[in-house]
Chains A and B, each alone.
Chain A
């Protein structure tokens, strides 16, 4: 009896820990785990900018498309399962960047739920899944995990140390070593083909372009210096461009890309006494970004 009592006490103490480590099995469970809504209580300006960003709708694609839908449809891609019920996390290689929290905090049941939502084109449910504050400031904040360890559970990582953070769960802010470096973004805005999957996947190659075609030509700026400039004293978490804001994006493109046009009209003497009416249009297009355009 005494042993049974001890066992019950131990079991009761262990249960919360087990519950904490439980993997999300539905869209709602994963969304709740990484919900950053409470961040806006103190970081209202930053949150408002982030809410307009593509990070806040990382599964909704440009202009609202649920781009992963073919992965859930039988026969549409090499990754597609025979039915949504058979989906696993491996069905969705795009999670690597578009939903990295799924790989650490969800299991295959989540992939089934997500597949069904895609087939139903349930944008209301799918759009709950986002690259939230927690994803960048915790999950993806440390890349030197062998030497520096995994992100600590109660710590957010920023550009500076803050002794105390007024949050029920994330009680500390530590300085993240890569937060102001291009590689922070490069974790997802990639290098080239992702060959770790059983079929290659090639999405964004922006960081590859930055490394091999900007740094190599003498460029020195980090992604954050252009894409996260201060707005009213805060790093801009819109991380423009926002492709759903065509006017704002046009402004950025016009600041970045310029075109010179020269024209000439003359009679070209192709052969003796055989003039041809000719117009020549010479164009020169230049850009001042730290990467190829277009890329992502």
Chain B
């Protein structure tokens, strides 16, 4: 999720990751690879019949009253640069009426 000013300057950036996370139980280092993973230590994946709700609070820099908010929901395949964009929502948000 990013927020940008009218002239394209990024004023906020945040990511949430939804997936299982495992170690080999010998250290606290998260590992990928079936041949070394032993146990999930955390599961933030999307679960059936559940909704993942997030609330991002963006404190804007002094003088900024309008931003474009871009929320992109992506499915990453093997590495962050290889993804399918499932949804992308752009909203103009202004503090002034």
On A, residues with C-beta under 8 Å from B are 62-63, 65, 70-71, 77-79, 93-94, 192-193, 199-203, 205, 209, 213-214, 217-219, 243, 246, 249-250, 253-254, 257-259, 261, 263-267, 276-295
Is A249 a contact of B84 with CB atoms below 8 Å?
yes
Given contacts A264-B93, A279-B58, A281-B58, contact A70 B35 (CB under 8 A): yes
Chain B residues 62 to 97 lying within 8 A of chain A, measured CB to CB, are 62, 64-65, 67, 69, 71, 73, 75, 77-78, 82, 84-87, 89, 91, 93-95
Total B residues in contact with A, Cβ cutoff 8 Å = 52
A278 to B55, CA, bound (A): 12
Which of A201, A202, A279, A289 is within 8 Å of B69, CB to CB? A279
What are the residues of chain B within 8 A of A261 when measuring CB–CB? 69, 71, 89, 91
Q: List 24 A-B contacts (CB under 8 A).
A: A65-B78, A77-B36, A193-B39, A200-B37, A202-B22, A217-B49, A249-B84, A250-B86, A257-B86, A258-B87, A277-B60, A278-B95, A279-B57, A279-B69, A279-B95, A282-B53, A283-B56, A283-B71, A285-B18, A292-B43, A292-B45, A292-B47, A292-B48, A295-B45
On B, residues with C-beta under 8 Å from A are 1, 3, 12, 18-20, 22, 33-40, 43, 45-60, 62, 64-65, 67, 69, 71, 73, 75, 77-78, 82, 84-87, 89, 91, 93-95
Given contacts A243-B77, A292-B46, contact A93 B35 (CB under 8 A): yes
Q: Which 4 pairs between the two chains have the least Cβ-Cβ distance?
A: A203-B34, A277-B60, A292-B45, A202-B37
A262 to B65, CA, bound (A): 18
Closest to B37 in A: A202
Is A202 a contact of B34 with CB atoms below 8 Å?
yes
A214 to B49, CA, bound (A): 8
- Interface majority SS on B: helix, strand, loop or mixed? strand
Given contacts A257-B73, A295-B20, contact A278 B57 (CB under 8 A): yes
Given contacts A263-B93, A282-B53, contact A290 B48 (CB under 8 A): yes
What are the residues of chain A within 8 A of B3 when measuring CB–CB? 279, 281
What are the residues of chain A within 8 A of B40 when measuring CB–CB? 192, 202, 205
Is B35 a contact of A294 with CB atoms below 8 Å?
no
A276 to B95, CA, bound (A): 11
The smallest beta-carbon distance between B25 and chain A, in angstroms, is 8
What are the residues of chain B within 8 A of A254 when measuring CB–CB? 86-87
Is B36 a contact of A289 with CB atoms below 8 Å?
no
Closest to A270 in B: B59
Which of B1, B34, B45 is within 8 Å of A201, CB to CB? B34
What are the residues of chain A within 8 A of B39 when measuring CB–CB? 193, 200, 202
A278 to B77, CA, bound (A): 34
Is A213 a contact of B53 with CB atoms below 8 Å?
no
Is B73 a contact of A285 with CB atoms below 8 Å?
yes
A288 to B46, CA, bound (A): 10
